[in-house]
């Protein structure tokens, strides 16, 4: 008797995980070499997914949670008052009249969509922000690049703070992209690479318009090796009285920029605290009022600030070499 055939899957490696998709990865998405990453399977829902509403209204005291301008509602499909306690989360997204629904765990994502499956790529970061905590990783809202000096810089801020503008300037100055929009940190506070493109508001040569209304600019090189962050740049909405916070003040600032405003699993808040405590024990920080300086001056100061910091990636390589 012949064995049943396994469904054809296409691997997609981003943020330290291997996604297995039942369709070809959208153009421009990363196709990194396979490694030992945990595998997360994307599958069509075998039956319509329920729309989750009551639990989050009771837990959070509001109608829904919205991220950016895309109408993204995050909800939990567990029972009781502990978000994510079942180890599963739900996500409903809407752009215009198009709706996508996701049922998410650490190893499987069931989705239901009004559109062809490949169109869900606009939501990968939002979906990933809920998958990562199931795999002992933390998701922050920011842009990450490796400077020519080798220092890894993470730019954090709310939507519209100028993260991508500063990030694009860093790239123009010779930096290498690590990830745009989502900062993925593992349990050892190492930052992992995302897709090989960044998103911009205005059209430019080589960029393509995506469903979210922004243009995707592909990059020829991507810094795919996981490494700690050397400098956090916080683009703050408030006036800045201490430009270089340390200790608990720095930790408090970083905790203010999770990718999603809710916990996908009950252990996520504690895990976020532990990972960021480890990150802040070695990283520097520059806090600046958003858009208070032109991008070129801000990027120049970031590079200057990094000169006084140890390069953790190089130090880790030296330790590995010493250990043989």
DSSP 241-254: S-SS--HHHHHHHH
Average pLDDT over residues 39-47: 69
Reported as a single tens digit per residue, the pLDDT across 89-120 is: 766 666 555 667 777 777 778 777 766 665 66
Find the helix or strand (DSSP H, E) in which 20 lies.
Answer: strand 17-21
Sequence-ordered alpha helix ranges (H) in the chain: 54-60, 124-134, 163-172, 247-254, 268-280, 295-306, 312-322
Under 8 Å between Cβ of 248 and 171: no
Task: Take residue 216 and report the two structure tokens written for it.
Answer: 């995707």
Residue spans of the domains in the chain: they are 10-322
The pTM is what? 0.80
Please give the CATH topology (third level) of the domain spanning 10-322.
Rossmann fold (3.40.50)
Burial (CB count <10 Å: 0-12, 13-18, 19+), residue 7: exposed
Q: Where do we find the tokens 């729309």?
A: 51
Average pLDDT over residues 5-22: 70
Under 8 Å between Cβ of 169 and 298: yes
Under 8 Å between Cβ of 324 and 272: no
Name the more confident of 1 and 190.
190
CA distance 309 to 324: 26
CB proximity list for 55: less than 8 A, separation 6 or greater: 75, 76, 77, 78, 81, 83
- What's the pLDDT score for residue 66? 37
Average pLDDT over residues 1-28: 65
């Amino acid at each position: 008797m012949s064995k049943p055939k396994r469904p054809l899957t296409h691997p997609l490696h981003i943020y330290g995980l291997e996604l297995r998709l039942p369709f070809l990865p959208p153009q421009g998405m990363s196709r990194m070499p396979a490694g030992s990453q945990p595998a997360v399977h994307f599958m069509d829902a075998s039956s319509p997914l329920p729309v989750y509403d009551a639990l989050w209204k009771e837990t959070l005291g509001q109608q829904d949670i919205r991220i950016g301008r895309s109408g993204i509602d995050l909800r939990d499909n567990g029972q009781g008052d502990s978000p994510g306690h079942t180890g599963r989360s739900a996500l409903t997204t809407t752009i215009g009249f198009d709706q996508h629904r996701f049922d998410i765990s650490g190893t499987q994502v069931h989705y239901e969509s009004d559109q062809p499956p490949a169109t869900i790529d606009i939501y990968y970061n939002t979906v990933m922000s809920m998958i990562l905590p199931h795999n002992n990783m933390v998701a922050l809202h920011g842009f990450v690049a490796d400077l020519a000096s080798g220092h890894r810089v993470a730019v954090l801020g709310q939507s519209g703070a100028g993260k991508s503008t500063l990030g694009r300037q860093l790239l123009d100055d010779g930096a290498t992209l690590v990830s745009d929009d989502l900062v993925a940190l593992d349990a050892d506070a190492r930052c992992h690479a995302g897709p090989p493109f960044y998103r911009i508001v205005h059209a430019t040569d080589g960029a393509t318009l995506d469903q979210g209304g922004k243009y995707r600019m592909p990059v020829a090189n991507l810094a795919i090796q996981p490494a700690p962050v050397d400098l956090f740049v916080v683009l703050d909405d408030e006036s800045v009285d201490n430009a270089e916070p340390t200790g608990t003040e720095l930790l408090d600032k970083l905790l203010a920029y999770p990718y999603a405003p809710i916990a996908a699993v009950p252990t996520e808040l504690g895990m976020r605290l532990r990972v960021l405590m480890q990150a802040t024990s070695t990283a520097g920080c520059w806090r600046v009022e958003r858009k208070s300086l032109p991008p070129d001056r801000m990027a120049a100061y970031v590079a200057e600030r990094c000169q006084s910091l140890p390069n953790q990636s190089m130090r880790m390589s030296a330790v590995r070499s010493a250990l043989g």
